[in-house]
Structure 1
Amino acid sequence: MKYISRREEILAKISDKAKADAASKAADDQVAINLAAAQPSLHADHPKPRTRRELLGAGLMSGLAYAMIPSIFTLTAQKAFAAPVCSKSGESTGAIKTPGYLHLELSGGLAMSGNFMIGKQGFGADFAPLASGGYAALGLGSSQIPGKVALDAAIKGQFHPASAFLAGMKSVMSAEAMAKTVAVGMAGTSADDSANNPLNPTQLVAKVNGLQGSLVQLVGSGSQPNTLGKTMPLNVAQDPGLAKAFIKDEASLTNLVNPGLIATRFNKKTDASNITAELAHQLSASKLAVLQNKDIPQDVKDLVECGYLGAKDLVNLSAAALTPSTDKIVSGTNFNALTFASLNKPNTPSQKGLIMGKLLVDGNASCATIEVDGCDYHGKGRVAQDAKDFICGQTVGIALEIAHRKAAPLFVALTSDGSVSSQGAGGAADRFDFTSDNGTHGMVMMIAIGSTERPNTKSLQIGAYNDAGAVDSTVASLTAKTAAAQALCIAYNYAAFSGRMAQFESTLSASGTANPFKGAESTYLAFEPKV
């Protein structure tokens, strides 16, 4: 048979070899309870957990292992394999061009406001402490309030010196990494113990950063189909077709696929991308034997260069490049006193921090979400509460330390459904137990590390608290009152940090959304826009 091009010949040969292979479907894989989670948080004033969200908040289960692989592989089984055009333009598909974005969803209402101090000062002003009674609601006694104790200076921000979250970060971060890191707090209420807080902006952020993950755009450890977290996504620039992969451990890194790359190479011609995606998928099994050879045939090289082979095939070719345990920069040096092996325990937040941090810093994913369960911890005592805060801080610190070791920027956001309150009793060292849900003490945290130096900020705080230790709804009122505005503000500040303000505006415009912060930069834009 004669072929009109080398490309057509390659595709025809692959089709003949692999036409018996059926398109694979995403499979559910139940995840065991997170090994590092605290004991289940069951409360007499809460109904018995029944829904998945309630179980997560109580720490009774962790995210379901959905491999969120788009099903375009099944769309072209009956189509003729016409050869689409590939220019082989040499366009790079390697390292990400903008900073990665890591989102931690803390299920149940973590006491972020007991770790990062929100004051009552205005935007960009020096820290102004609350009245002492307000700090009691945040778990701090009179000897522990800011003014009596100095805020910690190891990381630029407003961390309390006894913050367990900060201690977790310090447990794994070098002094050099901390010196390049800044933390910003945003005061804002959200519904307690609810999956209906649209706090995850990962799809918008992926669009803002130009969909530059070289293997996949979104990775996560939860089962929410649009974000791979647990909470509702921000309903701006949603695109269910973005390439996603559930990641629970190093083995699940093979879930990564790249249909988006194929579509991009063919200028979004659906038929062409479907055909080649089918061929790439069919190739996987039969190609493995060939790839065992030291010399990869030219036809495979051509297909990779043309974008005909997706990430699944590339993973088979060099899986070691994706796993933290085989990356000597990550695994070859202890994280302070902690060994890599001690942090790389299966199904723990610390392992997810290692995996997601590496994927983002290496440019293999645009955005990642880590779902940390068991944060509905009020009534469990200060020891258990501090332990969970420490784990969350350690997870963030691991990702930031990886970014530092690889001289890459990284942006981290932390959200939780509601918050907690203290009655000013219990605990130890004048730090009180948290006893009940209370979303009026809520906040969002944004933490960023620069590639060579600390990112510039105009303020360490967005919004404010009042003297009662609650969100002041008259200051930065958009984000103070609305979870969706908080998520949008996270993306807004990410855009400034990454130098993508124009892309933020154009993405909002394309989705028919006005920028509510325009003209109010001195209230909502804490990060100095990168030029």
Structure 2
Amino acid sequence: MKRHHFRKRQRALHPDEPLTGLGHGKAISRREMLGRGLISGAAFGSLGLFGLFSNPREAMAALSSDLDGLKSDCGIMAAGAGKIPFICFDLAGGANIAGSNVLVGGQGGQEDFLSAGGYSKLGLPGSQAPSSDPSTVNRDLGLAFHSDSAFLRGIREKAAAAMANTNGCVIPARSENDTANNPHNPLYGIFSAGADGELLSLIGSRSSVSGGNSMSPDSSIIASARPTKVDRASDVTGLVDTGKLVGLLDQEDAVAVMESIARISHKRIDRLNSGLTDSNRRDNLRNLLRCGYVEAADITDRYGDPATLNPMLDADIVGPGGIFSSSEINDREFEKTASIMKLVINGYAGAGCISMGGFDYHTGDRATGEQRDLRAGRCMGACLEYARRRGMPLMLYVFSDGSVASNGRIDDSVNGRGKGEWTGDNSSTAASFFLVYNPNGRPALNSNGSSADQHQQLGWMRSDASVETAGTPAANNVNLLAQTVWLNYMALHDQLGQFSSTFPNHSLGNADSLERLAAFQPIVNGTLT
């Protein structure tokens, strides 16, 4: 058997520094480059397409009464999707999730502890294993994390006030290492379950079909809902063009001018004789022209103020009282997160994917991975805290293509924190997890069909820290992992009974099986009000 020897690194790599010398050969694809941090999640082209959708979670700006009645006729309606905002984190390269971040246990749940050897493979020496030190189990987020989890430390930095109203679920599930063939991304299914936005249906930080690094399940893809690329503030502000009138006039006067233009134009349109003998076609033409003027006035009314969409001008996001300081927001990962959370949590987009690169961190040390996990945790925490400040619920899903394992050697550096070095890829140690924030109180675990602990951990690991592939349908099938996320999104809306009709080709089993895979009791009744 060929043995791999790793030279002890003298320093940890910066979170943005490329990963090299991993034994994979030369990176030749964009996916491989992203996973190793050779390019950032922003190093791809952008899309400028968007559709106009409505959002019931915010009051519609009121046009003058004579025009306001035309908004519903033109598809500018006060009633819309009203679903829980959904954001997923796609950690490209094979990040550690199980054990050193989110605790994963045996069939009894997270605290059905694994063997000492199992925790060692997950990067935890005996002194830090929860089986030997119960103080390493932290439930500040409801879901049990390791007390020294880098994800947890990052979340706590940004979302300390949101943690009490948050709960979560972990799903032990194998996925292949460093491959574009993992259909992890659930965005299209979330859209099919009803998520939509006022400006955009779906957004993602990469201009890929899925909006992220990993693929979407083929059967879920809806071409008309392809995610629009958003990974910086200028992508957000560029979504709506109110023209040059705003700037020459203030917003209120600009709206008044556009309303007057609409009224004059409507009178002329009513007298229009297009030469069309078909009255239906003539009426359709007139309505199309009318709606163009009404939509222009409505857009100026709602978005003429630059602060409406710009995350850099949102005091809750950037500034002395913001989630990010003015210096922090210069970090591209923080700007990316701020841009997507601004759109999704305010209802301008239905769901979004934040893809972060450089998580193929089996570099023969621990510190590199800890630093990257810490920054990812800060981004997750920012989303939870922004949801709290907006008084909105949020479902936050975290996944990665494959995972890593340790051979037990310890990194005693400051950032290595006395934990096991990551020494190679290992798809059998993989897991995904999701967190749910509810402004009305911590989400309650489901207890139908199995114990609450078994709803908080869907499936389990064997004592040696390898996924039990018979634990759930998702344990050895990434397509079914995405379906499990769709099911849990619908269950939060009290729509578990509609899952089979929404996804008639699902493979998660009968009604009893679906109940066992639903982690939480509903937090809203169908739609937000």
TM-score (norm 1): 0.77
Q: Cα distance 1:290–1:515, how it changes in 2: closer, same or farther (>3 A)? A: farther
Deviations 1:1-45 (A, max 9, x none): xxxxxxxxxxxxxxxxxxxxxxxxxxxxxxxxxx97342111341
Q: Quick one: distance in 2 between partners of 1:418 and 1:375?
A: 10
Q: Cα distance 1:452–1:330, how it changes in 2: closer, same or farther (>3 A)? A: farther
Match of residue 264 from structure 1: none
Task: State whether residues 256 and 312 of structure 1, in contact with CA within 8 Å, keep that contact through their aligned partners in structure 2.
Answer: no
Instruction: Provide the secondary structure at the position in 1 that maps to 2:377.
Output: helix
Q: Quick one: distance in 2 between partners of 1:294 and 1:207?
A: 37
Counterpart of 1:230, as a letter, is: N
Q: Does 1:494 align with 2:480?
A: no
Task: State whether residues 123 and 419 of structure 2, in contact with CA within 8 Å, keep that contact through their aligned partners in structure 1.
Answer: yes
Task: State whether residues 460 and 468 of structure 2, in contact with CA within 8 Å, keep that contact through their aligned partners in structure 1.
Answer: yes
Task: State whether residues 199 and 233 of structure 1, in contact with CA within 8 Å, keep that contact through their aligned partners in structure 2.
Answer: yes
Aligned-residue offset at 1:293: 6.0
Match of residue 364 from structure 1: 348
Aligned-residue offset at 1:222: 1.0
Q: Does 1:66 align with 2:45?
A: yes
Task: State whether residues 106 and 462 of structure 2, in contact with CA within 8 Å, keep that contact through their aligned partners in structure 1.
Answer: yes
Q: Does 1:136 align with 2:132?
A: no
Q: Quick one: distance in 2 between partners of 1:516 and 1:219?
A: 30
Q: Quick one: distance in 1 between partners of 2:310 and 2:250?
A: 19
Segment drifting more, 354-363 vs 521-530: 521-530
Counterpart of 1:480, as a letter, is: A
Aligned-residue offset at 1:355: 2.0
**What pairs up with 1:141-220 in 2 under 5 angstroms?**
141-147=125-131, 148-150=133-135, 151-174=137-160, 176-208=161-193, 210-220=194-204
Q: Does 1:53 align with 2:41?
A: no
Q: Cα distance 1:189–1:89, how it changes in 2: closer, same or farther (>3 A)? A: same
Match of residue 442 from structure 2: 454
Counterpart of 1:248, as a letter, is: D
Aligned-residue offset at 1:513: 4.3
Q: Quick one: distance in 2 between partners of 1:126 and 1:199?
A: 23
Q: Cα distance 1:142–1:320, how it changes in 2: closer, same or farther (>3 A)? A: same
Structure 1: gaps (5+ residues): 1-34, 74-84, 258-280
Aligned-residue offset at 1:127: 1.9
Deviations 1:368-415 (A, max 9, x none): 111100000102511111000101111100000000111110001111
Equivalent in 237, 242, 245 of residue 225 of structure 2:
242
Match of residue 330 from structure 2: 345
Aligned-residue offset at 1:62: 1.6
Instruction: Provide the secondary structure at the position in 1 that maps to 2:371.
Output: helix
CA-atom RMSD in angstroms:
3.0
**What pairs up with 1:418-429 in 2 under 5 angstroms?**
418-428=402-412, 429=417
Task: State whether residues 455 and 497 of structure 1, in contact with CA within 8 Å, keep that contact through their aligned partners in structure 2.
Answer: no
Q: Quick one: distance in 2 between partners of 1:366 and 1:166?
A: 26
Match of residue 254 from structure 1: 237
Q: Quick one: distance in 1 between partners of 2:445 and 2:515?
A: 11
Equivalent in 304, 307, 312 of residue 325 of structure 1:
312
Q: Cα distance 1:439–1:332, how it changes in 2: closer, same or farther (>3 A)? A: same
Q: Quick one: distance in 1 between partners of 2:297 and 2:220?
A: 25
Q: Quick one: distance in 1 between partners of 2:319 and 2:216?
A: 37
Q: Cα distance 1:141–1:353, how it changes in 2: closer, same or farther (>3 A)? A: same
Match of residue 231 from structure 1: 214
Q: Cα distance 1:183–1:292, how it changes in 2: closer, same or farther (>3 A)? A: same
Instruction: Provide the secondary structure at the position in 2 that maps to 1:448.
Output: strand
Instruction: Provide the secondary structure at the position in 2 that maps to 1:413.
Output: strand
Match of residue 432 from structure 1: 420
Q: Cα distance 1:121–1:87, how it changes in 2: closer, same or farther (>3 A)? A: closer
Q: Cα distance 1:46–1:453, how it changes in 2: closer, same or farther (>3 A)? A: same
Task: State whether residues 463 and 523 of structure 1, in contact with CA within 8 Å, keep that contact through their aligned partners in structure 2.
Answer: no
Q: Quick one: distance in 1 between partners of 2:301 and 2:205?
A: 22
Q: Quick one: distance in 2 between partners of 1:438 and 1:214?
A: 41
Aligned-residue offset at 1:490: 1.0
Match of residue 270 from structure 2: none
Q: Quick one: distance in 2 between partners of 1:503 and 1:201?
A: 18
Q: Cα distance 1:315–1:385, how it changes in 2: closer, same or farther (>3 A)? A: farther
Aligned-residue offset at 1:305: 9.1
State, as a whole percentage, how many aligned pairs show the same letter.
26
Segment drifting more, 113-122 vs 248-257: 248-257
Instruction: Provide the secondary structure at the position in 2 that maps to 1:162.
Output: coil
Q: Quick one: distance in 1 between partners of 2:72 and 2:492?
A: 34
Q: Quick one: distance in 2 between partners of 1:300 and 1:254?
A: 25
Aligned-residue offset at 1:195: 1.0
Q: Cα distance 1:160–1:88, how it changes in 2: closer, same or farther (>3 A)? A: same
Task: State whether residues 223 and 230 of structure 1, in contact with CA within 8 Å, keep that contact through their aligned partners in structure 2.
Answer: no
Task: State whether residues 237 and 310 of structure 2, in contact with CA within 8 Å, keep that contact through their aligned partners in structure 1.
Answer: no
Task: State whether residues 466 and 472 of structure 1, in contact with CA within 8 Å, keep that contact through their aligned partners in structure 2.
Answer: yes
Q: Cα distance 1:438–1:293, how it changes in 2: closer, same or farther (>3 A)? A: closer
Counterpart of 1:104, as a letter, is: F
Task: State whether residues 318 and 329 of structure 2, in contact with CA within 8 Å, keep that contact through their aligned partners in structure 1.
Answer: no
Match of residue 6 from structure 1: none
Task: State whether residues 65 and 247 of structure 1, in contact with CA within 8 Å, keep that contact through their aligned partners in structure 2.
Answer: no
Deviations 1:39-88 (A, max 9, x none): 21113411101110010011010233433234999xxxxxxxxxxx9754
**What pairs up with 1:251-290 in 2 under 5 angstroms?**
251-256=234-239
Match of residue 98 from structure 1: 83
Q: Cα distance 1:300–1:158, how it changes in 2: closer, same or farther (>3 A)? A: farther
Aligned-residue offset at 1:109: 0.5
Q: Quick one: distance in 2 between partners of 1:235 and 1:418?
A: 19
Deviations 1:253-294 (A, max 9, x none): 13436xxxxxxxxxxxxxxxxxxxxxxx9xx65766776564
Instruction: Provide the secondary structure at the position in 2 that maps to 1:446.
Output: strand
Task: State whether residues 65 and 221 of structure 1, in contact with CA within 8 Å, keep that contact through their aligned partners in structure 2.
Answer: no
Instruction: Provide the secondary structure at the position in 2 that maps to 1:488.
Output: helix
Equivalent in 507, 518, 521 of residue 528 of structure 1:
521
Aligned-residue offset at 1:351: 2.0
Q: Cα distance 1:377–1:126, how it changes in 2: closer, same or farther (>3 A)? A: closer
Q: Cα distance 1:86–1:160, how it changes in 2: closer, same or farther (>3 A)? A: closer
Structure 2: gaps (5+ residues): 1-12, 53-69, 264-289, 447-454
Match of residue 273 from structure 2: none
Equivalent in 19, 37, 45 of residue 15 of structure 2:
37
Deviations 1:290-325 (A, max 9, x none): 765642221567867987449987786233211222
Task: State whether residues 315 and 321 of structure 2, in contact with CA within 8 Å, keep that contact through their aligned partners in structure 1.
Answer: no
Equivalent in 392, 395, 400 of residue 408 of structure 1:
392
TM-score (norm 2): 0.78
